């Protein structure tokens, strides 16, 4: 299995504060997956780490190298903040060093990610989203995602980023939120579920853990959702051990361990 961790942060611009947490999210996702992967072992899971301050070209090059390798599954974790490229009508992942007027030009277009995955050598691919989006990207995201999901399976969460207003309101929407819940869920396991978990089994539990999930979506008078979730495919080769059935035997803690190389 190929695991690609792409958590991009831009700490120098307040408008892109929603990207903060992407690097930590990548570490949490790595720990959660590699500590519970059913067929883990030497050579079974190759990890590609993209530095959180890498530019778009470096990130794409690392992704393309990973997608060129054959395997049963290509799993890409994408975290950070989206902005909208109005000229090319596409969402872009903000990268380090971006300013408001340069983010769309400097960033990593999401279509580059999905295209690289769609043309990869793996038997199966899954893109996991742990993103935030500025207002324009948030509004345009559903239409773009509908087309992108036809080329590569997508699972995950995109939150509307709302920065604090002079400290009087809390920040809403941070990258890495999915990974935090994902790690906690796999650490404890899923009671009543089979010994082996796949994304379809984990998805309802993750929704239940998300306080911003659109529980009442579509109901007249309901507020605009702060988060949009994409459901995973019904079948996936991403198979993870259910620790709820192993409690008391070989109890491990996916939150501990050495730091992820490259972070």
pLDDT by residue, tens only, the chain of 263 residues: 999 999 999 998 889 999 999 999 999 999 999 999 997 555 689 999 999 999 999 999 999 999 999 999 999 999 999 999 999 999 999 999 999 999 999 999 999 999 999 999 999 999 999 999 999 999 999 999 999 989 999 999 999 998 776 654 445 678 999 999 999 999 999 999 999 999 999 999 999 999 888 654 555 555 677 999 999 999 999 999 999 987 644 444 444 445 566 55
Give me the CATH topology for the region 2-245: Rossmann fold (3.40.50)
The angle formed by the CA atoms of residues 60, 94 and 236, to the nearest 5 degrees, is: 55
DSSP 234: S
What burial letters (b/e) apply to 88-117, b meaning 16+ CB within 10 Å? Answer: eebbbbbbbebeeeebbebbbbbbbbbbbb
Contact 3, 160 (CB under 8 A): no
pTM over 0.75, yes/no: yes
DSSP 17: G
Cα–Cα distance, 194 to 242 (Å, whole number): 7
Q: Where are the domains of the chain?
A: 2-245
């Amino acid at each position: 299995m190929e695991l690609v961790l792409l958590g991009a942060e831009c700490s120098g611009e307040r408008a892109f504060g929603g990207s903060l947490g992407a690097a930590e999210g990548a570490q949490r996702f790595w720990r959660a997956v590699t500590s519970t992967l059913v067929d883990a072992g030497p050579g079974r899971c190759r990890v590609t780490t993209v530095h959180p301050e890498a530019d778009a070209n470096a990130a794409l090059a690392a992704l393309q190298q990973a997608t060129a390798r054959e395997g049963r599954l290509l799993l890409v974790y994408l975290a950070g903040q989206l902005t909208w490229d109005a000229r090319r009508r596409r969402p872009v992942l903000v990268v380090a060093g971006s300013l408001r007027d340069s983010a769309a030009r400097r960033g990593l277009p999401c279509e580059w990610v999905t295209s690289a995955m769609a043309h990869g050598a793996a038997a199966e691919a899954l893109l996991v989203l742990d993103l935030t989006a500025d207002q324009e990207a948030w509004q345009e995201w559903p239409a773009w995602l509908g087309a992108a999901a036809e080329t590569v399976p997508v699972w995950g969460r995109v939150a509307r980023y709302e920065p604090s207003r002079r400290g009087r309101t809390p920040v809403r929407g941070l990258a890495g939120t999915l990974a935090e819940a994902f790690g906690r869920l796999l650490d404890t396991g899923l009671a009543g579920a089979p010994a082996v978990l796949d994304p379809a089994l984990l998805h309802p539990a993750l929704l239940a853990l998300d306080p911003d999930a659109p529980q009442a979506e579509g109901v007249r008078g309901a507020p605009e959702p702060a988060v949009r979730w994409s459901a995973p495919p019904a079948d996936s080769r991403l198979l993870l051990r259910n620790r709820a059935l192993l409690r008391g035997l070989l109890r491990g803690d996916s939150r501990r361990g050495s730091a992820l190389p490259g972070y």
